[in-house]
Structure 1
Amino acid sequence: MKNTLRTPLNVLFCLLFLYCSCGQSSDDNAELLEDDTVPVAELPDVNAPDYWDDAVIVWQDEFDGTELSMEKWRFETGSHGWGNNELQNYVENDNVEVSDGTLKIIAKKEAPGSTGGTYTSTRLNSISDFRYGRLEIRAKIPEHKGNGLWPALWMLGSNIGTVGWPACGEIDIMEYVSFSPNEVHFSIHSTANNHKDGTQVTSGPLELETIEEEFHNYGVLWTNQYLKFYIDDITNVKLTFPRPAVTTAENWPFSQPFYFLMNIAVGGDWGGLEGVDDSIFPAVMEVDYVRVYQVQ
């Protein structure tokens, strides 16, 4: 219902409010949280050296047991190229395994004439979504055998169904392409910064010689003021994206909930730049855990 002023008292209140607001500096009143109740100046200092010391785990999957938790994950399926001309068909169940304390996401080359398509893989989305925190995934990239793989650990804004991509925002916690071994990439995408326009914010290729042989921790420190991407330890930051001084929905869609995605794509505009070597299949990405820490 639209509010209207009905009494002189209401008019007086509004005039006083406007007067007080005009008396504040732009810095004091520039940024409010999305509920418009707590000025950022009254929040903990997210840049303090010890800020993340108080973070506690609020959600996790350690992949114990022998089955994927359908209370925590859902399959996203299809073979329509996923906006990147990818070749795989994402299917349920057949390309995922939980055993020995890890999740295995498996990309396969199917037999000729298979109804599943030439290549199959798995794309998992978390059912829960999150807003701010230390978000960390411990994983091992598929063994390097040749070109054509594009595994990723990433996040999308939960409003993608209403605003679409890239307006929803994208946080790439880890991306890898097998034609460029021993390297990892971190990126963010938004309407103002995305790879379709060549304006994405990215670390570029970062050397990580054991990426295919060993587990590493890939994480992002996410607050209302920055995104910081790290490898193995939160002090080992490889990319920082500060909140723009003038914030818009186009350049900072990162003040809303996001959900996790984990997948192996085959080919595509980036993963397939140097073709697909069919001898590399099956290819397995292992995930030891997914954890979300937040400062309470």
Structure 2
Amino acid sequence: MRTKRFRTPLSVVAAVAALALLVPGTSAAAPAPAAPAEAAPAAAAQAALVWSDEFNGAAGSAPSAANWNHETGSHGWGNNELQNYTNSRANSALDGNGNLVITARREANGTYTSARMTTQNKVQPHFGRVEARIKIPRGQGIWPAFWMLGGNFPGTPWPNSGEIDIMENIGREPHLVHGTVHGPGYSGGGGITGSYMHPQGWSFADDFHTFAVDWAPGSITWSVNGNPYHTVTRASTGGNQWVFDQPFFMILNVAVGGNWPGYPDGSTQFPQQMTVDYVRVYSLDGGGGGGTGTITASNGICLDVAGAANADGTPIQLAHCNGNQAQQWTVGSDGTVRAYNRCLDVSGGNTAAGTRVQLWTCNGSGAQQWQRTDGQGLRNPQSGRCLQPVGRVQNDGARTEIANCDGSAVQRWNLP
């Protein structure tokens, strides 16, 4: 089994330049012009890795259940698709060489099987660079995708939940990939789309390519191999609601047939495989964003890592401010709040009021996402609840929990 070494991530400078220089678009234009196959990383500070799955494991083993769910069924998936998604290793498995392989098959009875995997309620990024290095399958009627749905789905139905398609390809266009958003008033055939053509006009199925979005509040930029080709901003939605400033979960799948790609014909060969080298999430600001310093309660007492420990599961408490490292917090643009290079975390990913808050290795999950409220609270979007001291007492040593947001003084925090 090959254990993967990390490649150098694309630089934050390149990401910021892409966000600054590209002109926002509101519809699909001609594919982006040819560009070098690989963009050279700039010699600058690198984006901080906050989560990854490198798919290191024994050949034939299942992808990590800590990261991935399998969605199953053969009901057409809203697009008149043909495949039955399964959780079988015949359709999704590690290959022993550091890759996940999703396989679309034509079975002996003429039906099709494949796999659709999601990180819902397990890993739900909130801004940053989201990327995967993928070798896509090929053939008429084959539809591989790497995409995201709003973490509030299905409670908030599509398209109001939002959809970010990082990479889609349809087999009849082997040299093109597409990046799209769908939201209220701009969904389905009205999605806001950009396309990227292979620089040499070759098939994307011939080799691995890195597909990414640089995702910030009010802006999303798509790239292939570090080459930006499409940007969407709030202005691009034409007055319709922007629904992308929230946690999203990731999806990998290979569909067979459907309204857009059409259906397999005599030229389509099976099985077809999508090989995924890795999926990674980076913080575009290197882990910072709002700044680094103390977080104080409304009475001036500090948010503190108990015992100045840095182990997973260490409780978070209130303590008299003393200037030590246990009270130094970094507020990231990716929605995290960090100390000791670990994240403020809702224990067990639970959503119930009274769940304790702890320090945990950053993993991109919804349990580690925090947003400011209008009342200056810290709200965990996954649970819809706010950070407060246990018993609502702002004393030295009081531990912390999530509770129903009420805007009271014990839920107000001053951030760096």
Give the TM-score, by structure 2 length.
0.54
Q: Is the 8 A contact 1:62 1:288 kept in 2?
A: yes
Matched, 1:112 2:104: no
CA deviation map 1:100-141 (0-9, x unaligned) = 11100000001117xxxx000000001210110001100001
Corresponding position of 2:247: 257
The one-letter amino acid paired with 1:110 is E
User: Whole-Å Cα distance in 2 between the matches of residues 227 and 53 of structure 1?
Assistant: 21
SS in 1 for 2:154: helix
Structure 1 stretches of 5 or more lacking a match?
Answer: 1-43
SS in 2 for 1:159: coil
User: Whole-Å Cα distance in 2 between the matches of residues 45 and 278 of structure 1?
Assistant: 42
Partner residue of 2:134 out of 121, 134, 139: 139
Corresponding position of 2:51: 59
Say if 1:104 and 1:124 are closer, same or farther in 2 by CA, change over 3 A: same
Q: Is the 8 A contact 2:18 2:228 kept in 1?
A: no
CA deviation map 1:40-65 (0-9, x unaligned) = xxxx9995799x94520110000111
CA deviation map 1:67-121 (0-9, x unaligned) = 31111111011111111000000000230120211100000001117xxxx0000
Q: Is the 8 A contact 1:137 1:287 kept in 2?
A: yes
User: Whole-Å Cα distance in 2 between the matches of residues 139 and 45 of structure 1?
Assistant: 24
User: Whole-Å Cα distance in 2 between the matches of residues 201 and 104 of structure 1?
Assistant: 29
The one-letter amino acid paired with 2:51 is W
Deviation at 1:207, TM superposition (A): 3.5
User: Whole-Å Cα distance in 2 between the matches of residues 124 and 245 of structure 1?
Assistant: 30
Matched, 1:181 2:138: no
* Structure having greater relative contact order (Cα 8 Å, sep ≥ 6): 1
User: Whole-Å Cα distance in 1 between the matches of residues 107 and 264 of structure 2?
Assistant: 17
Corresponding position of 2:282: 293
Say if 1:245 and 1:282 are closer, same or farther in 2 by CA, change over 3 A: closer
Partner residue of 1:103 out of 87, 94, 100: 100
The one-letter amino acid paired with 2:281 is V
SS in 2 for 1:84: coil
Matched, 1:71 2:71: no
SS in 1 for 2:220: strand
Corresponding position of 1:8: none
CA deviation map 1:156-209 (0-9, x unaligned) = 0011111111111111110001111221111111112112xx321111463452
Corresponding position of 1:14: none
User: Whole-Å Cα distance in 1 between the matches of residues 190 and 134 of structure 2?
Assistant: 28
RMSD: 2.5
Say if 1:293 and 1:284 are closer, same or farther in 2 by CA, change over 3 A: same
Of the structure 1 ranges 64-73 and 214-223, higher mean CA displacement relative to structure 2 is found in 64-73
Give the TM-score, by structure 1 length.
0.75
User: Whole-Å Cα distance in 2 between the matches of residues 45 and 232 of structure 1?
Assistant: 15
Corresponding position of 2:233: 242
Q: Is the 8 A contact 1:150 1:267 kept in 2?
A: yes
Q: Is the 8 A contact 2:136 2:144 kept in 1?
A: yes
Corresponding position of 1:192: 185
The one-letter amino acid paired with 1:244 is A
Say if 1:202 and 1:45 are closer, same or farther in 2 by CA, change over 3 A: closer
Corresponding position of 1:151: 144
Structure 2 stretches of 5 or more lacking a match?
Answer: 1-15, 22-41, 288-416
Q: How many residues align structurally?
A: 240
Q: How does 1:277-292 map to 2 (within 5 A)?
A: 277=266, 279-292=268-281
Q: Is the 8 A contact 1:157 1:257 kept in 2?
A: yes
Deviation at 1:153, TM superposition (A): 0.5
Say if 1:101 and 1:246 are closer, same or farther in 2 by CA, change over 3 A: closer
User: Whole-Å Cα distance in 2 between the matches of residues 283 and 245 of structure 1?
Assistant: 36
